[in-house]
Chains A and B, each alone.
Chain A
Amino acid sequence: MNRPIRVLVAKPGLDGHDRGALIVAQGLRDAGMEVVYTGLRQTVEQIVHAAIQEDVDCIGLSSLSGAHMALFPAVVNELKKQGVHDILVIGGGVIPPDDVRQLKSLGIAEVFTPGSTITDMAQFIRLHVKEKKWTGDFEPPTKVDHIGIAVNDMKSAIEFYEGLLGFSIVHDEQIEDQQVHAVFIQVGELHIELLESTSDNGPIARYISTKGPGIHHIAYRVTDIEDWLIRARQAEYRLIDEAPRNGGQHKRIAFLHPKGTQGVLTEFCEVIQSDS
């Protein structure tokens, strides 16, 4: 079951614009998926047939000719007619917002319009292909990966953990989009992540202004972060991150909202297996 995700990139209808389709095909390949590209001018039946033949997990439809409303839902319907229910269907192209909403209500899981990134698409496919095939099996988190502590003053925090307690710093980074300076301290098997805000209104600054410094979050090490997002969402926990994001240090992370977890901000954290 651990084979790479397989994607059929398809051009339905008469549209000849395949720059996007070709880029997506190559990008998803580089993201570790197996991609089959149909070429131009495919009928709905040809696309569904190819998807079944190639045993794909996902069909990515591309149309820039305005025929998406006729063609994309037809692919979804043809899949149903063939009794196929576990193939994720997504689309992309020059598609107005009104149509995007309609397509989503007709079974197209997501529509990627100009400006979308391959990274986002790959992320979306990974998560939703999993969800389609989700059996409910799961492995509990293997350990606490780290505990995040919001600090007012990094220098005195380091004095305490390194100076008094004698632990060592293993990592130090500026996370610009979070406006935070993070310092990781090794404490036996786990890390303590010291978090100091780099701006007056960053998330950590806001946290401290309402709750004061102290324990900010607990991160659990999981083997499959998508599994956990699906499991949490299906159990109706509120997600802060709908999809995993890069957490630095070869980790993918995602947060659950503290509202549903007795006030504790909870993070899932997966170590990316480097495959080269």
Chain B
Amino acid sequence: MAGSKKSKERKEQFTTSSGITVKRVYDFSCALTTKTFEQKLGEPGMYPFTRGVQSTLYRGRLWTMRQYAGFGDAKQTNARFRYLLEQGQTGLSTAFDLPTQIGYDCDHPFAQGEVGKVGVSISSLEDMETLFDQIPLDRVSTSMTINAPASVLLAMYIVVGEKQGVSIEKLSGTIQNDILKEYVARGTYIYPPEPSMRLITDIFAFCANHAPNFNTISISGYHIREAGSTAVQEVAFTLANARAYVDAALAAGLAIDDFAPRLSFFFNAHNHFFEEIAKFRAARRIWASLMRDEYQAQNAKSWQLRFHTQTGGSTLTAQQPDNNIVRVTLQALAAVLGGTQSLHTNSRDEALALPTEESARIALRTQQIIAHESGVADTVDPLGGSYFIEALTDDIEQQSLTYMKGIQEMGGAVRAIEQGYMQREIQTAAYETQLKIEHKEDIVVGVNAFTTTSDKEPILHKIDPHLEIEARDRIAQVRSKRDADKVTQALNKLRQAAIGQDNLMPYIISAVREYTTLGEICNVLREVFGEYTPQQF
């Protein structure tokens, strides 16, 4: 297979994470296929968007530097938000703690030990008011990593906006709202798939009418990749999930061009530099063709795959943590060369704890250096036309389409997930990666090679243990101050609506306004919808 000259090489075979064989050298013959250059690439900002969704890309406006942050209580996170905005960050991204993400108030028994740990604890509108205190919601865009209870947090955000005097159509931001990947890879599900899909399409419909600047979903490959998938699986499973949402919305009677322009995506930037760049380009091309040709969307905005990127958390090492700054830099560069719309760079200490303020600042500075010093943002798709990048883009596209076809034949993403198909595929890939590291076929610097014995221990972020108690006191106060009858009424109306067919968003907004808690709202929906229990595969 190799050329005639067989000089000795470091490895028998060079492959990417997806098992794509990397050749010694690429030339024009690798980029020759039946499609023409125009069909495959086109101009930036034009179908099929391989080169990017905007014609000017970062020459117009740099990507949004959006660092995921949240810990402790709303007051602490509000302070971190304001710090990040002062440091030049251009959008907010909210991390919620696990009780919030699973729809439990901070005083629920299951919340014990988890309050404020992986994100901020939000139980009622009052917490949300504190979270965005002195942050004008008409001037920032806010991304919220919230899925199963997305409608409740969106409702809280809308009501906080109202109280600030910002009307709903001026709000901009994103809710993650991607339940399918929770079943596959992330684990913060509440309800079974069917009612979950209804909650999601209710949000699509509500926002199409009232919140035109809100991204109603961020369909996420990030967590699929973190769970151990390959780059190809990341693209294929994410886009298969995306199809399922589109199908659900169409089945609920929405018109494709009414909701498709507000679909957004979220990918990982992992280690294999070129494969990652090609991955972003391939994902754009697949989506464009799917939306235009298969779903017959007419609005060009419906064809555009806009995405957020986060550098790969699972690539960070607990050993020699400063090395992570370098990993993050390379991954962030891949995301930028791949044309991301927004970016989160991980902090060096995240394999050990939540980041300290200093680590978070270095991570943000990394983006700023790429943006302002490297020159890579000055032209669109600078690697377009590279023999290697184009060949890899083609390979990833082809392999992803094959996977997606298989999932369609199983009856779509929801069925594939219920059968454990995606979970098994990811698990197999994750285990193979682990074995390669243990056998030193894959080198991880500082872990299975180039180790040192005496790492000095970094200073790490600590969560105040009293916080959980204070949060419980606060929610008790909220419950005692509010009008209990109005809360009961709001919950009864919500229950009736959930049993029926109405769009649930207005009922949830009404309930939130009365300081009905997150847990109370989710409990009513649990009663009506039931809870998801995964099979063990």
Contact = CB atoms under 8 A, between A and B. Distances in A.
B32 interface: no
Name the interface size band of chain A. 20 to 34
Given A40-B534, A65-B118, A66-B463, A16 B182 contact: yes
A97 B98 contact: no
B319 A115 contact: yes
B438 interface: yes
Interface string A11-37: 001111111001100110000000001
B431 interface: yes
- Secondary structure of the B contact surface, majority rule: loop
A70 B113 CA distance: 5
Contact of B431 (A23, A37, A69): A23
Given A19-B314, A40-B534, A65-B114, A97 B457 contact: yes
Interface stretch (B13-21, B351-359, B404-412, B515-523): B351-359
Contact of A26 (B102, B352, B427): B427
B188 interface: yes
A119 B463 CA distance: 33
Contacts, number: 102
A113 interface: yes
B254 interface: no
B352 A22 contact: no
B434 A66 contact: no
Contacts of A97: 352, 457
B430 A113 contact: no
A258 to B, nearest CB: 23
Contacts of A96: 352-353, 460
A56 interface: no
A212 interface: no
B149 to A, nearest CB: 13
Nearest to B351: A114
A118 interface: yes
A17 B427 CA distance: 12
B62 interface: no
Interface residues of B, number: 44
Contact of A22 (B110, B117, B351, B430): B430
- Secondary structure of the A contact surface, majority rule: loop
B536 interface: yes
Contacts of B188: 14, 16
A59 B112 CA distance: 21
A32 to B, nearest CB: 16
Nearest to B457: A97
B430 A13 contact: no
A67 B536 CA distance: 23
Contacts of A260: none
A71 B447 contact: no
Interface string B448-476: 10000000010010010000000000000
B269 to A, nearest CB: 18
Contacts of A67: 98, 113-114, 117
A69 B351 contact: no
A94 B102 CA distance: 20
7 contacts: A13-B113, A19-B430, A40-B534, A95-B352, A114-B318, A118-B438, A119-B438
